[in-house]
Amino acid sequence: MPTKIRMAGQERREAIIEAAVNLFAQRGFRGTTTREIAAAVGVTEPVLYQHFATKRDLYTAIIDWKSQEAEREYGQQLEAAAQANDDRQYLTALATIILHWYTEDPAFVRLLLYSGLEGHEIAALCYERLGVRLDCEIVRHLRRRIEEGALRNGLDPLIAARAFLCMVAHFAQSRVVFHLQKEEISVDEYLRTMVDIFLRGITKN
């Protein structure tokens, strides 16, 4: 009989979060029980509740985990692109990051889609922790570039930021979630074209 490996507290906590993400992504929030999450990690429900006293604690931990992960992987990359004062480089880096996030973390993408369809509170938590921050960073970049005269006057940076995010996110969802957009045009060409279309609309003539 194999010996069961005992996990340290932090290791177990992270294992619970990861198991919860995968189960929520497969079955939704209403279709997943705490018993199933505990079983996936190999612990009892009382042990699970020692780490997360309520479901909201677990939901918050998931978003915190993903927020910290995104900052580690993409924060410096996006900041470096912004400092270059090259809008094409910045937008291309941003589009690449978004597509990479969808491609490398499809379980979390499915979790967010479930949260929206079920009207689950984690959707609002995600927007508060991740969406608002990303919006603010892009808006700050666009506003600065308007003030420097690189982008046209009268441009609403918030609307522009969300328009670009929606364009790239739709492309990413088409590929990762719905398995469309698999024709011979390369991903790089798609991203270049989207950035070009967007820049033509916001660059000062």
Please write the tens of the pLDDT for every residue from 43-94: 999 999 999 998 888 988 998 888 888 888 888 888 888 888 899 999 999 9
Residue 117 inside a domain? The answer is: yes
Model pTM score? 0.80
* Residue 146: both structure tokens together: 């308007």
What's the domain range around 5? 1-53
Is there a single domain that holds both residue 11 and residue 82? no
Residue 118 inside a domain? The answer is: yes
Q: Tell me: pLDDT of 4 over 50.
A: no
Within 13 Å and on the Cβ side, how many CA atoms surround 201?
A: 15
List 203's β-bridge partners, or say none.
151
Task: Identify which of 178, 159, 156 has the alpha carbon closest to the alpha carbon of residue 110.
Answer: 178
Residue 61 inside a domain? The answer is: no
Please state the rounded mean pLDDT for residues 174-203: 85
Is there a single domain that holds both residue 110 and residue 161? yes
Total structural domains within the chain: 2
* Residue 6: both structure tokens together: 């005992």
* Residue 13: both structure tokens together: 């906590």
Please write the tens of the pLDDT for every residue from 137-154: 899 999 999 999 999 999
Please write the tens of the pLDDT for every residue from 123-135: 888 888 888 888 8
| CB-based contact 92:192 (threshold 8 Å) | yes
Residue 60 inside a domain? The answer is: no
pLDDT in the model for residue 5: 47
Q: Within 52-180, where are the H helices?
A: 55-70, 76-83, 87-104, 106-117, 121-126, 132-147, 157-176
pLDDT in the model for residue 31: 86
CB atoms within 10 A of CB 87: 20
